[in-house]
Amino acid sequence: MKRNFPVIDADGHVIEDIKQLRAFLPGAFHKEEGKREYVLLPRDGWMRGALTPRKREDPDPARWLGFLDACGISTTVLYTSAGLSIGLVHDSDWAVVVARAYNDWLHEHFLRVSPRFKGVALLAVQEPADAAKELERCVRDYGMVGGMLAAVMNPMRGFGLPQFDPIFEAAERLNVPLGVHAGSAAELGLDHFTSFAGVYPLSHPFAQMQQLTSMMIHGVFERFPRLRVAFLESGCGWVPYLMDRLEESYEHRYNRWPYKAKKSPREIMRGGNLFYSCEVGESTLSSVATLMGSSQIIWPSDFPHERPWDEFSGDLDRFIAREDLSESATRQILLDNPCRLYGLKPEELAG
DSSP state of 194: S
The terminus-to-terminus CA distance of the chain in angstroms comes to 12
76 forms bridges with which residues in the sheet?
9, 117
Cβ atoms of 16 and 102 within 8 Å: the answer is yes
Task: Please give the order of strands across the beta sheet that includes 178-181.
Answer: 8-13, 75-79, 117-122, 146-150, 178-181, 229-232, 274-277, 297-298
In whole angstroms, what is the distance from residue 89 CA to residue 93 CA? 9
Q: Give me the count of residues in the chain.
A: 351
In whole angstroms, what is the distance from residue 119 CA to residue 135 CA? 11
- Amino acid symbol at 172: E
For every one of its 351 residues, what pLDDT tens digit does the chain have, with 9 covering 90 and above?
A: 567 899 999 999 999 998 899 889 887 676 655 456 667 888 776 666 655 555 567 889 999 999 999 999 999 999 999 999 999 999 999 999 999 999 999 999 999 999 999 999 999 999 999 999 999 999 999 999 999 999 999 999 999 999 999 999 999 999 999 999 988 888 888 889 888 788 888 889 999 999 999 999 999 999 999 999 999 999 999 999 999 999 999 999 999 999 999 999 999 999 999 999 999 989 999 999 999 999 999 999 999 987 778 778 888 999 999 999 999 999 999 999 999 999 999 887 865
Alpha-helical regions (H) of the chain? 18-22, 61-71, 92-106, 128-142, 165-174, 196-217, 220-223, 238-252, 265-269, 285-292, 309-312, 315-320, 327-331, 337-342
Could you tell me the fold of the domain covering 8-348?
Answer: TIM Barrel (3.20.20)
Contacts of 297 (CB under 8 A, 6+ apart): 236, 275, 276, 277, 278, 285, 288, 289, 332, 333, 337
pTM here?
0.94
Please state the domain extents for the chain.
8-348
